[in-house]
Chains A and B, each alone.
Chain A
């Protein structure tokens, strides 16, 4: 490491630092490892304790993968998750960004922008399980149980508040002078929003989209409550591995990897924005 502080540290403190890093790494990596190892074990090998190293301790097989991927419900769930995730993200950004922009730039007469923002924020503090029954009844009334539309609407209500609060902060960092310059050049409010504010907040927008998508992708509680077959998502499928026959570790492991993969791959692409986007508001208050 080309860092003076590091180079001048005592070997003991270096060792401690390294051990801590290794522990943290194990902490994060072992569940992944568990999933990968178990996804290539046969049904019989899975209950043999201490079998961890493929080829040495057990014979790897692709049977669980074939089994899971051959199941139409898996593909259906992957499709549901993707559709609901993308649908929610699009809807939330479509409604949330203009709302956030107006809260960042304008003062309303009857209620302060600050208060409206706080109201949005309270939606995030609310424990989601509190609204589980009301939402179920609402969706049932609308005939939206086990539909993609129902899930998208449900997820949008949770994520809209998040999007508004975050994007408001990001829009506030856009230089006012630049927007005024656009106004002087003859741009209307919408043109300033589309041609100046949005392009300049693209980093934040991408991060927000990613976080909203990840929320939808990972959400299990509501999905398992309001879907059963048609609109079931990946998390519900993993939960469903616990059936009357006990836990089906093989398919759970494969499904876990299937569920983890898309967000992980996606995060490689948005990584460059993530570090900056997640520190929103940290540089400028």
Chain B
């Protein structure tokens, strides 16, 4: 268990800057998720914490000790790899005990530790098997076990669930969280899947192009994205963006079919900043179908349904709101909507996000 501090960490490959000025201090036992598209620097960051990659600039501290320049062995961290990276020539026992044996832990103790970890992960019956004789899920457990058995200060997990099928992934997700809570070991978890990030992390670091976009709890990222990138990345389906014009009266409009009233505080803040054009952001799940279109005048979006995608419990609608613009709405209805239908949608004022088109930062 340890606090991990990264300060001004940068990484260059030749002239290419892979990571710039990464700052983060974890809590003790915190579950931190690094999320972003491929090439955003999340794996590089993790590999630098692991000691598999050198640090170009900055400092990494684990438990208060600067580990830059240390080999992985001295850092006392364990990593779970995307392709499991089990030792194919060793059986499960050999895989789990590898690190302990390198550390010259007495034999009886090794056997005892391996058995107890195998029991926790429910792989006791597999100890004699070779990795190639295991299913994907079982391999995943062995890889986790190998990380746990050494009782390291920090866990690093590099997309550990991306190679197993969807159903098992959800199960393993819950299991990893349970395990991490129980062991209380500070964990870094890399994923490109924002759903995984939202459901697992105590805190999430959203990254893009080698830069940290926002650090926050899942709730903060979802409700108050700091810029347009984070707003679009977090949430599924993705947030709708429309070019809008700020009117003097605290409303914002986009074309003739969209006219939205801003909450007073927001309107005042925007008015002070003096900008006129904005990006309006609305999450698809926040759009609601208005049953009495004639009686409502506030926050109305009118459009024609183009595509209907039933999801079972909910339905995703692609709606044409005129001027070649489309928005996505996720509504709490099952089947029954049809293409060509005219709809009036509304959204609560406090669920409207605004972004400065020049800086792409949120207006608040």
Contact indicator B89/A200 (Cβ below 8 Å): yes
Contact indicator B73/A177 (Cβ below 8 Å): no
CA distance A185 to B50 in the complex (A): 11
CB of B85 closer than 8 Å to a CB of A: yes
CA distance A244 to B102 in the complex (A): 66
Contact indicator B99/A185 (Cβ below 8 Å): yes
Query: Which of B72, B87, B102, B103 has most chain A Cβ within 10 Å?
Result: B87
Inter-chain contacts of A181 with B (CB < 8 A): 79, 81, 85-87, 146
Inter-chain contacts of B102 with A (CB < 8 A): 185-187, 191
CB of A69 closer than 8 Å to a CB of B: no
CA distance A182 to B99 in the complex (A): 8
8 A Cβ contacts from B145-202 to A: 146, 150
Inter-chain contacts of B146 with A (CB < 8 A): 181, 185
Contact indicator A177/B81 (Cβ below 8 Å): yes
CA distance A235 to B78 in the complex (A): 56
8 A Cβ contacts from B40-60 to A: 50-52
- Which partner residue on chain A sits nearest B74 by CB separation? A186
Inter-chain contacts of A200 with B (CB < 8 A): 88-89
Contact indicator B72/A184 (Cβ below 8 Å): yes
Could you tell me the distance in whole angstroms from the C-beta of B76 to the nearest C-beta in chain A?
9
| Number of residues of chain B lying within 8 A (CB) of chain A | 23
CA distance A229 to B89 in the complex (A): 46
CB of A199 closer than 8 Å to a CB of B: yes
Contact of B78 among A184, A188, A196, A199 (CB under 8 A): A184
CB of B229 closer than 8 Å to a CB of A: no
CB of A66 closer than 8 Å to a CB of B: no
| Number of residues of chain A lying within 8 A (CB) of chain B | 16
CA distance A199 to B72 in the complex (A): 22
Contact of A186 among B52, B73, B82, B89 (CB under 8 A): B73
Flag A199-243 by CB within 8 Å of B: 1 or 0 each. Answer: 110000000000000000000000000000000000000000000
Contact indicator B99/A178 (Cβ below 8 Å): no
Q: Given A185-B98, A185-B102, A191-B102, A180 and B85 touching (CB < 8 A)?
A: yes
Contact indicator B81/A180 (Cβ below 8 Å): yes
CA distance A186 to B74 in the complex (A): 8
Contact indicator B89/A199 (Cβ below 8 Å): yes
CB of A124 closer than 8 Å to a CB of B: no
CA distance A199 to B78 in the complex (A): 23
Inter-chain contacts of A184 with B (CB < 8 A): 50, 52, 72, 77-79
CB of A175 closer than 8 Å to a CB of B: yes
CB of A14 closer than 8 Å to a CB of B: no
Contact indicator A186/B85 (Cβ below 8 Å): no
Inter-chain contacts of A191 with B (CB < 8 A): 102
Query: Which of A185, A187, A196 has most chain B Cβ within 10 Å?
Result: A185
Contact indicator A186/B87 (Cβ below 8 Å): no
Could you tell me the distance in whole angstroms from the C-beta of A269 to the nearest C-beta in chain B?
20
CB of A276 closer than 8 Å to a CB of B: no
Contact of B87 among A182, A183, A188 (CB under 8 A): A182
Inter-chain contacts of A177 with B (CB < 8 A): 81-83, 85
Cβ contacts A to B, 20 pairs, < 8 Å: A175-B85, A177-B83, A178-B86, A178-B88, A181-B87, A182-B98, A183-B52, A183-B72, A183-B73, A184-B50, A184-B52, A184-B72, A184-B77, A184-B78, A185-B146, A186-B73, A186-B99, A187-B98, A188-B73, A196-B87
Binding site for A on B (CB under 8 A): 50-52, 71-73, 77-79, 81-83, 85-89, 98-99, 102-103, 146, 150
A180-B85, A185-B146 known; 20 new pairs, CB 8 Å cut-off, are A175-B83, A175-B85, A178-B86, A178-B87, A181-B79, A181-B81, A181-B85, A182-B87, A183-B71, A183-B73, A184-B78, A184-B79, A185-B78, A185-B98, A185-B99, A186-B73, A186-B102, A187-B73, A187-B102, A191-B102
